[in-house]
């Protein structure tokens, strides 16, 4: 697992999520641990290296 730190697109608090490095590319919804609003997280790995990461709000 890979721990990625980023800012929540809603409350701008720094949060972290655990990403599964065995999945090359995935998009899923996870709630912010601070404000509990849903964040769409996209991650892409090349081997154990994170090559793309995006966290966007889906409530607009």
- Give CA separation, 50 vs 6, 11, 45, 53, 57, in Å: 13, 24, 5, 7, 21
- The distance of closest approach from Cβ of residue 30 to Zn ion in the complex, given in angstroms and rounded to an integer, is 11
- The distance of closest approach from Cβ of residue 21 to Zn ion in the complex, given in angstroms and rounded to an integer, is 24
- The distance of closest approach from Cβ of residue 4 to Zn ion in the complex, given in angstroms and rounded to an integer, is 15
| Nearest CB to Zn ion, comparing residues 20 and 33 | 33
| Nearest CB to Zn ion, comparing residues 5 and 48 | 5
Q: Considering only CA atoms, which of 9, 23, 3, 13 is closest in space to residue 54? A: 9
């Amino acid at each position: 697992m890979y721990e990625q730190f980023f800012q929540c697109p809603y409350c701008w608090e720094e949060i972290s999520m655990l990403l599964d490095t065995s999945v090359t590319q995935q998009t899923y919804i996870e709630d912010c641990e601070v404000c509990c609003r849903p964040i769409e997280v996209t991650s892409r790995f090349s081997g154990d290296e994170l090559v793309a990461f995006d966290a966007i709000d889906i409530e607009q």
